[in-house]
Amino acid sequence: MSAEPVVDDLTDDLTDDQRVDDQPAEDVDHVAALRVLESESVHIIREVVAELERPVLLFSGGKDSIVLLRLAEKAFRPHPLPFPILHVDTGHNFDEVIEFRDRRVAPTPDNPGGIRLIVASVQESIDSGRVAESTDPSGSRNRLQTRTLLDALEAGGFDAAFGGARRDEDRARAKERVFSFRDEFGQWDPRSQRPEPWSIYNGRIRRGESVRVFPLSNWTETDIWRYIEIENLDLPPIYYASEREVFDRDGILLAVSPHSRPRDGEQVSTEWVRYRTVGDLTITGAVRSRATTIPEIIAEISDATVSERGETRADDRTSSAAMEDRKREGYF
């Protein structure tokens, strides 16, 4: 009975003061569905804080983690966020994303303390010999992130890590539980996931074990954008179309940067592009676009025939089980 979202009622209750005369009915419609998703996610976030000792939120500066951070702030307001955020910095970032990150955690009138940010550096892991950088010129730092992440979780004594992963991203992600149990090595065993009926989550772990928690499991890419729109969330500018210098590598449009330079035969051109996802510069492709506003972006992804990861992530193309393998190792 109550598991059935009372959408009609939500529409009444939630949109009365958002409704303006010229707002199309369809928009009002989506708001109610988003409030149901929001409510589910907040319930998950609070459950973690109530049941586990030391949670942390993994923050990449991408749209999903921006939505996740907003939900986490809402879950505890008017009190400040009761846990820090963790950025795994590959060293190959878009400058705009790092600037955004630092702006996002800065003190505000509502939160004079700001948000506590922990930066875990892949470069440091390489320098200290914890991981070795691939000598393969097409190799990215994506796989290396896992070690840095696990080290940072251990160093902080974190027993729960929130991630912004969505089940619609990838078929291995579609198999994830909301509470994803990890052993003392951070490993995922898809065969022995805890049954998760209703919305009752089992957060019990032993010392050394941890859970990865995915409050955005049931959100889609479109939901994320619609939520950014209704919440008026600030984003790194690379999500909006502008002219940038890019080159084509195996069908992926890469930005020209100190970390990603064209090789012989790869032509640099200036094009109107934007990013559909934020990751490492070396593997994240841009999409040709003129969309400079959120409604334009929503229209564009509604028409897109290629998925977000398919269009923009070079690393997932290497093997049909790339994501599953990385998850088993401890990636989120």
Site for other proteins in 64-83 (CB under 8 A): 74-79
Query: Which stretches of 90-139 are assigned E, i.e. beta strand?
Result: 117-121
Toward other proteins, which CB reaches closer, 8 or 264? Answer: 8
User: Would you count residue 21 as binding other proteins (CB under 8 A)?
Assistant: no
Q: Taking Cα atoms as reference points, which of 43, 41, 83 lies closest to residue 64?
A: 41
Among 123, 222, 257, 318, binds other proteins (CB under 8 A): 222
Residues in contact with 83: Cβ distance below 8 Å, sequence separation at least 6, in sequence order: 49, 54, 55, 56, 57, 72
Among 54, 123, 139, 218, binds other proteins (CB under 8 A): 218
Residue 243 φ/ψ, nearest 5 degrees: -80, 130
Toward other proteins, which CB reaches closer, 163 or 236? Answer: 163
As measured in angstroms, the least distance from the Cβ of 176 to other proteins is 8
Toward other proteins, which CB reaches closer, 15 or 123? Answer: 15
Q: Taking Cα atoms as reference points, which of 71, 5, 12, 33 lies closest to residue 226?
A: 33
User: Would you count residue 245 as binding other proteins (CB under 8 A)?
Assistant: no
Toward other proteins, which CB reaches closer, 63 or 313? Answer: 313
* 166-205 positions binding other proteins, by CB under 8 A: 167-168, 170-175, 190-191, 193-200, 202, 204-205
Toward other proteins, which CB reaches closer, 94 or 331? Answer: 331
Residue with structure tokens 């690379």? 238
As measured in angstroms, the least distance from the Cβ of 311 to other proteins is 7
Q: Taking Cα atoms as reference points, which of 51, 22, 45 lies closest to residue 204?
A: 51
Among 4, 21, 136, 243, binds other proteins (CB under 8 A): 4
Query: Which stretches of 104-195 are assigned E, i.e. beta strand?
Result: 117-121, 160-162, 179-182
Q: Taking Cα atoms as reference points, which of 160, 161, 189, 179 lies closest to residue 217?
A: 179
* 291-330 positions binding other proteins, by CB under 8 A: 304-307, 310-311, 320-321, 324
User: How far is it, in rounded angstroms, from Cα 254 to Cα 285?
Assistant: 5
User: Would you count residue 261 as binding other proteins (CB under 8 A)?
Assistant: no
Size of the site for other proteins (CB under 8 A): 76
* 36-65 positions binding other proteins, by CB under 8 A: 36, 38-40, 42-43, 46-47, 49-50
Query: Which stretches of the chain are assigned E, i.e. beta strand?
Result: 55-58, 85-89, 117-121, 160-162, 179-182, 210-213, 242-249, 252-255, 268-275, 286-288
User: How far is it, in rounded angstroms, from Cα 11 to Cα 314?
Assistant: 40
* 150-169 positions binding other proteins, by CB under 8 A: 167-168
